[in-house]
Every structure is written in C-alpha cells, then in structure tokens.
Amino acid sequence: MVQRPDYERHKRKLRRNRRGGRPEQPASRRSVLGQVYFLAQPLSGWRFPPSGFSFLSLRSLRSMFLFQSLRLLRRVCAIALPGLVGCLLAQGQSARTPVIMISIDGLNPHYVLRAEDHAAGIPFLRSFLTNGTYAQSVINVVPTITFPNHVTLITGTLPEQHGIFNNMLQDPNSNLIAAPMEYGNAIRVPTLWEAAQSAGLKTASVFWPVSLGARGIDYNIPPIHTQGTPADHYLLEAVSRPDGFLASVEKQIGVYSPEEDEDDFVTRAAIAVIRGQRPYLLTVHLGNLDDAQHHSGPDSQEAFAALEKIDGQVRQIADAERAVYPDADIVIVSDHGFFPVSHVINLNAEFVRHGLITLSKTGHIASWKVFSWTGGGSAAVILHNPDDRETAEKVRQILDGLEKDPASGIAQILSKQEAKAFGGTPETEFLIDCRPGFYVGRGLTTPLITDASQKGTHGYLPVHPELQSSFFIMGPRIARNRNLGVIDMRQIAPTIAKELEARMPSATMPVLPVDR
C-alpha cells in the first residue's frame, strides 16, 4: 500500500532548502516529474502538490508510475481487446464469402436479358443486371443436357474429365431399362462441395442433379428417379444424408410427394436448410422451366408463367440466405437453353435397316456393331469394336447420305478427332448435331423420321446461342452492372471456390472478374 506523505515534514524540508540547504530541483526535472504527477493523479486515491515530488526518491516515483500504468493498461485492454480480436478475425476472413448457387434448369439468358420483350414479370432476376455481375451467355458442354452440365458447373471440368457423359447410362442392350446417371459418387474429379468441406466449411444441397451419394455434402437431399407413388418420400428419406435429416426437415415443411409441384418442395426445403443448418455453400436446383419448355416449347406462355413463379421462389430462398448471412453471394446458373422441335431422327432404326444392329424377337437389341447414344439434339455414334474400320467407313457413308438430305434433320457430322475437342465421351466415333426442329430418338423399328412427342428440347452442340446457359451473381462485394460477355461454363466453379477461399486445382480455367 502506498503511504500518504508527511506534509509537515515536507514543509520543514522546503524551508531548510530555501535557507541555503538542499537546492531545489532543476526546472527540467520538475517538468518530467510534473508529467508523472498528472498521469498518476486521475488514477490515485489521493492527491499531493507537484512541489511535493521533491521529497520522493526516483525509485519510488518509478514504482508508483509503473503500478498506476499497469492499472490503466488493464482497464484499456478489458475494454478494447475483445473488439480488437473481433476486428482481426473479421479482417482475416474478409475475403471468404458464403455462397448459395441456384440452378434454373433450361434458363437461356435471353429470358432475363430481354425480359421486356416478353413482358415477363421477373423483377428479382432482373435486379442482377443492375445490382450484380452477369454473363451475356455461357458456353456449356456436349451434350447440352442436364446431368453433364450440372457436373461441369460443380467441378469446372469437361465430361471427359468428370466422367458424366449423358443423362442416361450407355445401354445398347437395354439391360438397365433407361437407367439415369444420377450417382454423384461416379464423379471422377473433386467438386465444389469437397473443396468447401476441405476448407472447413459446412455444405448442403437440395435436388442438385448427380448428387446422390456425392462426396463433400454435409446435408444432402438429392433428386431421385421416383416411381410416382406416395411411397416415394420413403425412398427420398433413405438416400438423403445424414440419416434422419430429411425426416426432420419434413416435420417443418411437409412430406415430399410426387404429386406436389417439385419446385415448391425444393424452395421450402432450401429455406429450412438455410435456417436450420446454416451451410456456407448451398446448391439448389429448380426444374419447372425445363418441364414447361419441353411441354410447350421455348418462349411459350407456359414457360413465361413457370419463370415468373421461379422468380418469386428464388427471391424467397435469397431472402432466407441473406437473413442468415447478410454478406452472402447469390448465384444463378443454368445448364442449357432450348430449341423448338417437331420431328425425331431415329438413327438406330436406320442402322437396323443396314444390318448394323440385330434385334431379338421381342424387339430389343440382340447384337450391335454401331449404336447411336442420343443426347437429344445431338448423338454420339459409338462402335462396338473401336478398331472395326470397315464398319466405321460404312457408318460414315450412311451418315453422309443423310446429311445431304435436308429432310433428314442432320446439320453436321463431326469426326472422332473433331468430337474430341468438345470433351465428350471418348468412345465417340462420330458426333451428330441436328438441325433446329429435330432431335435424335431411340426408335429401333420406326421410320427414320417420326413426329416429336414434345415441343422443345436441347442437347445440341453449344455453338448455338439458343442452347447456351446463364450466369448471374450478386452480393455486397460483387461488382454492379458488370457484363462479362460470353464465358466458359468451366470458369464458374473456380470463381465460386475463390469466393469461398477454397482450393480447386482440377478446375484450371481463369476465375471470372466478379468482385468490385
């Protein structure tokens, strides 16, 4: 405890000094000690005049000053340190941004960029043009169908790298009964989900194509090939992860039913996941625009109505995301556009007539030398024996003859080397691209050309602007009103990885300049 000074003794010493005893302190010393006095005075429980410093030793002053300074430092740290630590942590994570990526299946960019031409009421999607960054169009991958392109969106690679070449498994002998290629654990390269999870971030997905069993997803509700029965929700619960997760979500939003509008269920599920699990990366897929364009064609009233409803659903999901993460990036992507169609080209039926495919008594393929693996508006023509050059030459002659006839619907035939540049299935001997209005069917006993059962489809080569897809991004750190022009779909995944501060070495395309 610091003792109070003896003021009377102090006064006697001062009088003695004035009579010729001990000299007064120099002005410079008084100045320094005066500073000590004024620093210590507010913190001390007692006061003494500056002249009183002369009776204290320098060691005592140092001890007193150190004691009072430590008290002051402790108080300052107690007040400032928590805020300082928070600022440092925030500064360290300032470049890492939560991301929700919503795929609107079948969204060609013209629906948003030229919405005024169609009087389409899509205010939220239109807001990306002024408040965010967007692509004029996105060059997608072959074939321009859902599964391969969604895997490219999530990996930043071509099908020849990621291994998902079609919506359906290659099955010339019909052993698999049109089995969809929906298994995420078949993806050969790292995904955005895995990259985010490796960076210590929580991930989730709702109905993203080819996510069934996918690695890197903490909370996953994958799309499934349902039977259209009320029991389908049991199957969906069985394949969702972790065990029991979907059941807990359904308690909040209702049980999944194939009779319900699927996008309504996906919207409710996505919002529940955002609020309950708070993922740092969430991928969502909405499919009604694709369904509407298959049924009624692109730019139909049904398509516009579907898009207007989706605009509201996307806004709901984005609002929920921003309520949890105000700094989140909202990303809108798509897989392909559409052509209107009226006719089907049954290439395999033509190969049957030329003896290159043999049918069983039941009408199924018994043996084959060549097979047309349809991708909608394009087809990969595959040889059973890749070294059978005699069959390859015969197939080439058949296809050349069809290409010369405008009524056949074939626009161009690409050789094996030309097809390789598109990064599709390596087994492709010839790649067929159809004329607008035609697509490749699966008929074996039909005429070459038959009427289409749908009014719109996709799958053509991505050289057609109508088949290209979309990219929009909006967030507090994203540039406003920036048009990126035409981009490559493979640039999207590394761009999202950069926002998450996650590493994707397999995605080698340049990152898009989306930040301010």
Q: Are residues 207 and 79 in the same domain?
A: no
Burial 351-363 (b: 16+ CB within 10 A, else e): bbeeebbeeeeee
Confirm if 199 and 99 have CB atoms less than 8 A apart. no
Given a contact cutoff of 8 angstroms between Cβ atoms, the answer to whether 284 and 208 are in contact is: yes
- pLDDT of 153 reads 99
The 3-class SS string of 193-227 reads HHHHHHCCCCEEEECCCCCECCCCCCEEECCCCCC
Is residue 403's pLDDT more than 60?
Answer: yes
3-state DSSP helix/strand/coil percent for the chain, to nearest 5?
40, 20, 40
78 shares its domain with 213: no
28-32, 37-41, 68-72, 324-328: which has the highest mean pLDDT?
324-328
111 plus 245 within the same structural domain: yes
What pLDDT does residue 52 have?
Answer: 44
Amino acid identity, position 313: Q
C-alpha span between 445 and 450 (Å, rounded)? 11
Q: Are 281 and 358 in a shared domain?
A: no
pTM exceeds 0.85 = no
Q: How many domains does the chain have?
A: 3
70 vs 396, which has greater pLDDT?
A: 396
Q: Which of 25-39, 259-273, 379-393 has the lowest mean pLDDT?
A: 25-39
Residue 84 has pLDDT above 70, yes or no: no
Q: What is the dihedral of CA 158, 164, 168, 171, to 10 degrees?
A: 110
Place of tokens 């009233």: 301
121: in domain: yes
The pLDDT tens digits for 191-211 are 999 999 999 999 999 999 999
Residue 275 has pLDDT above 90, yes or no: yes
- Boundaries of domain holding 293: 99-139+148-155+187-338+490-500
Per the CB < 8 A criterion, the answer to whether 466 and 123 are in contact is no
User: What is the pLDDT confidence band of residue 49, given thresholds at 50, 70 and 90?
Assistant: very low
* 192-201, 266-275, 277-286, 357-366: least confidently modelled range: 357-366
**Which helix H or strand E contains 432, and what residues bound it?**
strand 428-434
**Same domain? 297 vs 196:** yes
* pLDDT tens, residue by residue, 447-499: 999 999 999 999 999 999 999 999 999 999 999 999 999 999 999 999 999 99
In sequence order, the 6+-apart residues with CB closer than 8 A to the CB of 133 are 472, 473, 474, 478, 479, 480, 482, 483, 484, 512, 514
Q: What's the token pair of residue 402?
A: 């069809």
Per-residue pLDDT band for 48 (boundaries 50, 70, 90) equals very low
Long-range contacts of 4-9, Cβ-Cβ distance < 8 Å, separation of 24 or more: 4/46, 5/48, 5/52, 5/55, 5/56, 7/48, 7/52, 9/55
Q: State the average pLDDT over residues 8-30.
A: 49
Whether 270 is covered by a domain: the verdict is yes
pLDDT band at 226 (very low <50, low <70, confident <90, very high): confident
Q: Are residues 325 and 441 in the same domain?
A: no
Are residue 287 and residue 366 in the same domain, yes or no? no
Give the pLDDT score at 73.
56
Decide if 268 is inside a domain. Answer: yes
Give the integer Cα–Cα distance in Å for 40 and 19: 31
Return the number of other C-beta atoms located less than 10 Å from residue 482's C-beta: 16
The band of 178, judged by pLDDT with boundaries at 50, 70 and 90, is: low
Q: Span 105-116, mean pLDDT?
A: 96
User: How confident is the model at residue 224, as a pLDDT?
Assistant: 86
Question: Both ends of the chain: CA-CA distance in Å?
Answer: 59
| Pairing outcome for strands 471-474 and 133-134 | antiparallel
pLDDT beyond 60 at 86: no
Residue 61 lies in a domain: yes
Are 63 and 111 contained in the same domain?
no
In a domain, 475, yes or no: no
Q: What percent of the chain has pLDDT over 70?
A: 80
pLDDT at 2 over 80: no
User: Could you tell me if 310 and 218 lie in one domain?
Assistant: yes
- Count of all residues that appear for the chain in the document: 516
Asked whether residue 119 falls in the same domain as residue 259, the answer is yes
Q: Is the pLDDT of residue 343 over 70?
A: yes
pLDDT at res. 230: 79
The three-state secondary structure class of 341 is strand
For residues 354 and 368, is the Cβ–Cβ distance under 8 A? no
The mean of the pLDDT values for the chain is 87
Q: How many CA atoms, within 13 angstroms, populate the side-chain half-sphere of residue 216?
A: 24
CATH number, domain with residue 278: 3.40.720.10
- Residues 128, 226, single domain; the answer is yes
Q: Residue 118's pLDDT is what?
A: 80
Report the CATH number at residue 377.
3.30.1360
